[in-house]
Each structure stands twice: as C-alpha cells, then as structure tokens.
Chains A and B, each alone.
Chain A
Amino acid sequence: MGIVIIKYNAGNIFSVDSAMKRLGVDAIVTDDKDLIRKADKVIFPGVGEASTTMKYLRENGLDSLIKDLKQPVLGICLGMQLMCKHSEEGNADCLDIFDVNVKRFIPQKHEDKIPHMGWNTITDVKNPLFDTTLENQYVYFVHSYYVPINSNTAATTDYILPFSAALHTQNFYATQFHPEKSGSVGEHILTNFLKL
C-alpha cells in the first residue's frame, strides 16, 4: 500500500511529499484512516503549535490511530514532539508513544537565541535510522521546544544543552530536525527509513 503521509492541519506536508518525490516515491497524502492503517510506512510530519494540533488530532480520531500503528512510522519535528507524553507548548497532553516530556528551551546566555534555527550536527547516532556515515553530519532544525535525552534517544544535538535530535522505540522513529530540508544528508536518512 506504499508510503502514506498523514494529512492534518500542519505545515510542511508539501515539503515532505516533495522530498519523497525527489527520492522517486509517490507517497499518498491522506487523512483516510483505512489508507493510513494499510500503509507499508507512515510519515507523520508537523510544523505548528502542539496544543492546537493535538486538539485537531483528537477531534479527528487520529490520535489513537497513530498510537496503534504497527508499521514503521516516522515523526518529523512537531510530529516527533506530539509522539511524546506531554508538551510545555500550550500545556498539551500528547500521544505518549515516547515516555518523555517536551520542554521549552531556556536561554543560558545571550547567544542562546530561540528558536534553535539552522544547521547543527548530530552525534551518538544509532541504527537503524542512522548509520555511522551520519555521525557529525549537519541537519536542519527549527524549533523552540526540545525533547530531553532519554532511553529512546537515537541521535543527540547540542544547543544550549544536549537534547534528542531523534527518537526510536519499536516501530516508531522520529526526528526533531527536518530530513526533508537537510539536503543530501536528509535524503540519506529518509532513504534509510524507506529501507526499513
């Protein structure tokens, strides 16, 4: 049934779809629950605000659907944060796939600007989404909230403090950065996901 990108009230869906097209994959962008359930792989993108987005997901029954998916799921940026337990952004209860809470960056010195925006390196990368060639590579971030380091951390980035650049548990994968906007490095990571 191919690759499905979950359609909801979030930005960057077109960008993720475009990245798939550049990799030669015609993804289906849909909010149809049957199509999502039957997909080989699901991408859960996201740019937006946590509480508003969670409300939308709940009202449309997508919250429990995502949680119950058994195929590989890739959450991106806000998608990753929504897969956590709770977010300080709008005090939102989230999907609780990853047992960790999302926090707001607190600047420690003046140079610590928020949002964390731009290209930063990933370290301590873990299989299977990452391979050793990806250690210390630059990827693109835009976010004001972060996921602390925890037992599901699959890659680490340092900005103000070390935080989770990626998460993984069972069939759920997630990146805080935007692979669809991270040039050839991002394409490499998306290809790894497609190969799972």
Chain B
Amino acid sequence: MLAKRIIPCLDIKDGTTVKGINFVNLRDAGDPVELGIKYSKEGADELVFLDITASHEERKTFTELVERIALNISIPFTVGGGINELKDVDRLLSAGADKVSVNSTALRNPMIIDEISKNFGSQVCVCAIDARFDGEKWMCYTSGGRNLTDKELFSWAKEVENRGAGEILFTSMNHDGVKQGYANEALCCLSESLNIPIIASGGAGNLQHFSDVFKEGKADAALAASVFHFGEIAIKDLKYYLRSEGINVR
C-alpha cells in the first residue's frame, strides 16, 4: 500500500536553512546537508530544498549544494527557487535533484510546466502554489508571497495539472508559520478535484495536525519545517503516532 509521505522542507538562504514566520521573519536553522542527512536517517520520506531568495533576486539555486545533497542522502529530494527556464531544470537534475519545484515562474510563464513535463517527464515537475484566503477566494501569490496575482487557487491548480505538473505543493499563507494546523478544507477540495498528488504545506504545530491533514485534508504528503528544525517533533515519533492513528506510513 502506498504510504503517506512526511517531507521536511529546508528553506535555503545564503547556503543555510531558514524558516519564515508568515514569510517575513527568518530564523537560522542550520546547515542544509547536515539537516538532510539527519532527516533521512530519522525516516523522512523526501526532502524539499527551496532557495527562497532565488526568485526575487533572480539568483540561481546553488548547483553545488544540490550536488552535495545528492552525494550524501539516499532519499528523493526536490529543489526549487530561481528556476526561470528549461536549462535551469536541466542543470539541477544533472546535479542530482529528483524533482524541481516551480512557483513564481509558472505563474508568469505557465508554458514552463508543459516544457518541463515534455522534456523531463511530469514526475519531475512539482508546481508550488502559495495562496492566501482573502475571505472570499484563495488567491495565488508570486515571489515568496510578496506579489498578489489574478490567479485563483483551484482554477490555477487545475490548469497546472492539465499542463503536465506531476504534483502540487500547496502552501496556505494564512496557515504558514502559525502552527494551528494545515488548511484542510482547501486541501481536501484540491485533492478531490485533481488527479495528481497534493503535498500540504503550512501550519504544522503538533502531531495531530499531521493526522488531520491526511484524514481531513486528504493530502498525499505533508511538508513541514520549523517543527522539525527546532526539534519540536521527531520524525520517528510522528510516524509512530500516525501508525497508531491508522495512517499508512513507511
């Protein structure tokens, strides 16, 4: 039986791991490769490395870091941030990344999703979506939550699926950093309207939040950062808890 995945996310700035509280206040959470090895040993199912400054500063994700990660860890990982064109994807995959995550670039140029999936396979293409609920609608943002777009979450998610994205990584900006649980209602809606896996992001604060995101949010994978980086939740304990809740994990 296919297991639900637990994915620590490492936001990278200047080569170190950071986690934003609502994307603004950044705290240092250590060396990306060290953390990656630690999580891999503890039972993480995948890792995500996001170069959070790459997008707005138009800086390329460090290929060297990706190579170091690939050399040292034996589980799949996704790299995102600063992917503007197909050759960025080629460079990151050649450096050992298993998947690439596109976000702002896809909103500005949706064709990049078609191009990535056509050239490298849809399994390589994770489309990350940052959205905020404005009281009426979920609206998508670019550049790490800085700029509002005219795209609505559910129609944009459907569009990226049709264009060939292999997975959607949805971050609720309302929930991110506040540790009150994931955006389960929106996640459930995404999961039921799409046929590709959904990775939930934003809001994990305790063990039950993970159980809820699989049961209520119907997510295929749950991503979190600070609860792991600051040792608040150990992945081993989380897996044990989820198993006791009847959720199939590795």
Q: Smallest Cβ distance from B240 to chain A, in angstroms? A: 15
Query: Does the CB pair B75–A140 fall under 8 Å?
Result: yes
With A14-B95, A110-B192: A115-B166 Cβ-Cβ less than 8 Å:
yes
With A113-B195, A118-B221: A14-B70 Cβ-Cβ less than 8 Å:
yes
Contacting B2 at CB < 8 Å: which of A118, A143, A144? A118
With A118-B3, A118-B221, A119-B3: A186-B45 Cβ-Cβ less than 8 Å:
no
Query: Does the CB pair B96–A15 fall under 8 Å?
Result: yes
Q: Is B196 an interface residue (CB 8 A)?
A: yes
Q: Is A86 an interface residue (CB 8 A)?
A: no
The interface size bin for chain A is 35 or more
Q: Is A19 an interface residue (CB 8 A)?
A: yes
Cα distance A47–B93 when bound, in Å? 10
Chain B, residues 67-88, CB within 8 Å of chain A (1/0): the string is 1001110111000000000000
Chain A, residues 87-98, CB within 8 Å of chain B (1/0): the string is 000000000000
Q: Is A11 an interface residue (CB 8 A)?
A: yes
Query: Does the CB pair B122–A144 fall under 8 Å?
Result: yes
B192: chain A residues within 8 A (beta carbon): 110
Interface residues of A in 3-37 (CB under 8 A from B): 11-12, 14-15, 18-19, 21-22
Q: Which residue of A lies closest to B43 (CB)?
A: A183
Cα distance A144–B117 when bound, in Å? 12
Query: Does the CB pair A180–B197 fall under 8 Å?
Result: no
B250: chain A residues within 8 A (beta carbon): 119, 138
Interface residues of B in 1-38 (CB under 8 A from A): 1-3, 5
B196: chain A residues within 8 A (beta carbon): 113-115
Interface residues of A in 143-191 (CB under 8 A from B): 143-144, 158-159, 178, 180-184, 186-187
Contacting A118 at CB < 8 Å: which of B74, B95, B197? B197
Cα distance A117–B196 when bound, in Å? 9
A186: chain B residues within 8 A (beta carbon): 74
Q: Is B212 an interface residue (CB 8 A)?
A: no
Q: Smallest Cβ distance from A161 to chain B, in angstroms? A: 13
Q: Smallest Cβ distance from B159 to chain A, in angstroms? A: 17
Query: Does the CB pair A180–B74 fall under 8 Å?
Result: yes
B45: chain A residues within 8 A (beta carbon): 118-119
A120: chain B residues within 8 A (beta carbon): 1-3
Q: Smallest Cβ distance from B127 to chain A, in angstroms? A: 14
The secondary-structure label for the interface of chain A is mixed
Cα distance A26–B57 when bound, in Å? 38
Cα distance A184–B42 when bound, in Å? 12
Q: Is B230 an interface residue (CB 8 A)?
A: no
Q: Is B40 an interface residue (CB 8 A)?
A: yes
Query: Does the CB pair A113–B197 fall under 8 Å?
Result: yes
Contacting A11 at CB < 8 Å: which of B3, B67, B93? B93
Query: Does the CB pair B120–A15 fall under 8 Å?
Result: no
Cα distance A107–B75 when bound, in Å? 27
Contacting A18 at CB < 8 Å: which of B3, B71, B197? B71
Query: Does the CB pair A143–B123 fall under 8 Å?
Result: yes
Cα distance A48–B89 when bound, in Å? 13
Closest 8 CB pairs of A and B: A14-B96, A138-B250, A142-B123, A119-B3, A119-B250, A181-B76, A18-B71, A115-B123
Chain A: residues with CB nearer than 8 A to chain B? 11-12, 14-15, 18-19, 21-22, 47-49, 107, 110, 113-121, 138, 140, 142-144, 158-159, 178, 180-184, 186-187
A-B contact pairs, 30 of them (CB 8 A): A11-B124, A14-B95, A18-B70, A18-B71, A22-B74, A47-B120, A49-B118, A49-B121, A107-B195, A110-B192, A110-B195, A114-B195, A114-B196, A115-B122, A117-B166, A117-B220, A118-B3, A118-B45, A119-B3, A119-B5, A119-B250, A120-B2, A120-B3, A142-B98, A158-B1, A180-B74, A181-B74, A181-B98, A183-B75, A186-B74
